[in-house]
Structure 1
Amino acid sequence: MNQEKLFSNTRLKNKTFKNRCVVAPMTRISAEEDGRANETMKKYYERYAKGGFSAIITEGIYLDERYSQGYNDQPGLVREDHVQAWKPVVDAVHKHDSLILAQLMHAGGQSQGNAYTNETISPSDIPPKGEQLGFYGGSGPFQTPKAMTEQDIEQVKDAFAQSAIRAKEAGFDGIEIHGANGYLLDQFLTDYLNRREDPYGGSKENRLQIILESIQNIREAVGSDYIVGIRISQIKVADPDHKWAEGEKEAEYIFSQLGQTSLDYIHVTDGDATHPAFGEDSRTLAQAARDYGKLPVIANGKLGDPDKAEKLLKDEYADFISLGTSALANPDLPNKVKKGMELNDFNFEKILLPQAKVKDLELQMEIVQ
């Protein structure tokens, strides 16, 4: 198939994406212990820029020195030294005519490694399903988190905004709010994790409120000309089969509300981006985001086959595709596809991340970012 759409350029705000191929955010845990980015991370991100990807979304970056960190050796955007440490990474990506977006993340009750506290917080004092990943220093069930106070909620919203300012200072082309995969903002969206009886709990309208307010705060902090997107999913790290209780009706509400904000895109992730997300003959998650949100959509989920990705784009179910394992296996995937070269399959044993602390990719990829 001719991948004409896949290699067409487009713009968000004042930034040009030279094609529709984006590197998905993937947990790395290869930063310094104090959250600073380093040379290993620079090489990791630069190789995708060299390989022809139009944009790279970073791993989740923590926001504060309180409860946001999710894993030991996770990078942060909390202090000035974090900002300065990210600048060489950003510059390396820009050198190859690619864009880089910082994904801002609060782990909430799904945290299993935090240099600043042994406690976790969540909308309610209900732990996530499943167990911590031992490979990342956790063991057994997730601990019972502290139910957030109104002051905690205000602090989290402010932390997102302040980290967005630091991302802009570091030179990132935009930020992505992590509202997916069972982390804090998604915990608010999740009915069984959010049993609050205040304006942030109960109805789906209330459960979405912290996300809408965080978007507004971030936009006010970074200005109108800066890219701000969000990642949304039904699936979670600790609950990969989760579906929204009201199915497509709930999706319609969530995406339509997001579409009325100042967001520039919605990034959705599912097991397979081309499969119905809400039952037989229903829309995919990407279709729902595009139809109801009316914003550009990045689709993620088994789209490493360029013909499959091209069809999704041509059918106008998405505007971009993001790749995780396919990018790990083929950091130069866009360049390879252009040249008609064969792509590598993702192989847990043979594919290594140069100089990364994470060696066991099978366990790494259990974390869907």
Structure 2
Amino acid sequence: MTHHTLYSEFKLKNINLNNRYIVAPMTRISANQDGKANETMQKYYERYAKGGFSAIISEGIYLDESYSQGYENQPGLATEEHLNAWKPVVKAVQRHGSIMIAQLMHAGGQSQDNAYTNETISPSNIPPKGEQLGFYGGSGAFQTPKSMTITDIEQVTNSFVKSAVRAKKAGFNGVEIHGANGYLLDQFLTDYLNHRNDQYGGSKENRLKIFLEIIGSIREAVGSDFIVGIRISQIKVSDPDHKWAEGEKEAEYIFSELGKTSLDYIHVTDGDATSPSFGENSRTLAKAAKEFSNLPVIANGKLGNPDKAEELLKNNEADLISLGTSALANPDLPNRVRNNMELSEFDFEKILLPLAYVKDLELNMRIVQ
């Protein structure tokens, strides 16, 4: 075996991971209509644990019976019923030696289906760019969201905290705050979506404020022994070419401030995790996160090739590797690579599009970052 770093142990918080492979969070839309996790989801996540992934990050889980839901059939952690429905899923993963982290997500203005309301909210009443995703049931432009009040912001923070506590009670090993891909927290960080003139808008310092408040509030609620991470990106579901206005300078500020918090890791995602993220000869997003935050970093973005992933780790640009489409195509990828077995290529046409309206476990293969 030539991929020694990929198969070396790594200590995340107080847990020893037996390799560096993690399943990335992927929208599955296979929960019950009421947001409860189910047996199909249990089998889906369990097969990654059987396949050798050391950790699995769940799909984005909505937080409350209000504005947070983003998709039909998205799972929730908004109620005790949701909490109890997740328990067998988490146990199924953990009994194979993997850990499971719940990704907590508020869709904000990028929501395209919500069982609890027909409205969306965002820092300002500016709709996301682009159009809704047809294979998730949406169509046409995103609606114009309601501009959030200070009370709304306080309620969102409270929803993140309560969901984190439910995740801990459900047996998850930790939570990941979804601050990426154009969802609510990323909308605060994005200059063209955040036109607020209060303490949550304007400067990059103000636009990052809600992140820092949520991180601090979650840590206070879950205690020091529970993993708390965050996902960050420049790219969005609705704007895949977006870059931070100040480039590497803005990255330095964001990651430096996150590094001062009680976070246990930063998870970054980019179109290609090994490509410069801020222009020619600049750092990758993963390298920027690692150097500026001094926290463990999970890298995501076209890292299914084990040689490519190994090189990123050996260059000390990341500590862990998360896989999305490569994991869908190869649920047992860590075991395959370890045993020098051939990997299957991800085929969007074959795996996704013909199967957009079915629920069978083997056919339900829909994905978005």
The two structures share one fold, judged by TM-score above 0.5? yes
**Which residue does the alignment assign to 1:259?**
259
Tell me, yes or no, if structure 1 residue 186 matches structure 2 residue 210: no
Which residues of structure 1 form unaligned runs of 5+?
A: none
**Which residue does the alignment assign to 1:299?**
299
Matched residues in 2 for 1:24 and 1:348: separation?
17
Matched residues in 2 for 1:355 and 1:322: separation?
25
**Which residue does the alignment assign to 1:62?**
62
CA displacement 1:29-73 (0-9 Å, x = unmatched): 000000000000000000000000000000000000000000010
**Which residue does the alignment assign to 2:93?**
93
8 Å CA contact retained: 1:28, 1:358:
no
- Structure 1 segment 167-246 matched on structure 2, within 5 A: 167-246=167-246
Amino acid at match of 1:211: F
8 Å CA contact retained: 1:66, 1:117:
yes
**Which residue does the alignment assign to 2:342?**
342
8 Å CA contact retained: 2:273, 2:302:
yes
Matched residues in 1 for 2:361 and 2:22: separation?
23
Matched residues in 1 for 2:286 and 2:257: separation?
15
Matched residues in 2 for 1:318 and 1:18: separation?
16
**Which residue does the alignment assign to 2:290?**
290
**Which residue does the alignment assign to 1:108?**
108
Cα distance, 1:358 vs. partner? 9.7
Matched residues in 2 for 1:121 and 1:357: separation?
33
Matched residues in 2 for 1:357 and 1:319: separation?
31
Matched residues in 1 for 2:53 and 2:109: separation?
33
CA displacement 1:233-285 (0-9 Å, x = unmatched): 00000000000000000000000000000000000000000000000000000
**Which residue does the alignment assign to 1:269?**
269
Cα distance, 1:351 vs. partner? 3.9
Amino acid at match of 2:48: Y
Matched residues in 2 for 1:37 and 1:11: separation?
29
CA displacement 1:176-205 (0-9 Å, x = unmatched): 000000000000000000000000000000
8 Å CA contact retained: 1:121, 1:148:
yes
Q: Between the two proteins, what is the percent identity of the paired residues?
A: 74
8 Å CA contact retained: 1:348, 1:360:
no
CA displacement 1:303-328 (0-9 Å, x = unmatched): 00001100100110000000000000
Amino acid at match of 2:147: A
Matched residues in 2 for 1:217 and 1:165: separation?
11
Amino acid at match of 2:56: I
- Comparing 126-135 with 209-218, greater Cα deviation is found at 126-135
Runs of 4+ with >2 A deviation: 348-361
8 Å CA contact retained: 1:17, 1:54:
yes
Tell me, yes or no, if structure 1 residue 162 matches structure 2 residue 150: no
* SS of equivalent residue, structure 1 residue 40: helix
Matched residues in 2 for 1:121 and 1:138: separation?
17
- Structure 1 segment 137-152 matched on structure 2, within 5 A: 137-152=137-152
Cα distance, 1:133 vs. partner? 1.2
TM-score by length of 2: 0.97
Matched residues in 1 for 2:216 and 2:249: separation?
24
* SS of equivalent residue, structure 2 residue 69: coil
RMSD: 1.4
**Which residue does the alignment assign to 2:130?**
130
TM-score by length of 1: 0.97
8 Å CA contact retained: 2:40, 2:361:
no
Matched residues in 2 for 1:358 and 1:134: separation?
21
Cα distance, 1:14 vs. partner? 1.7
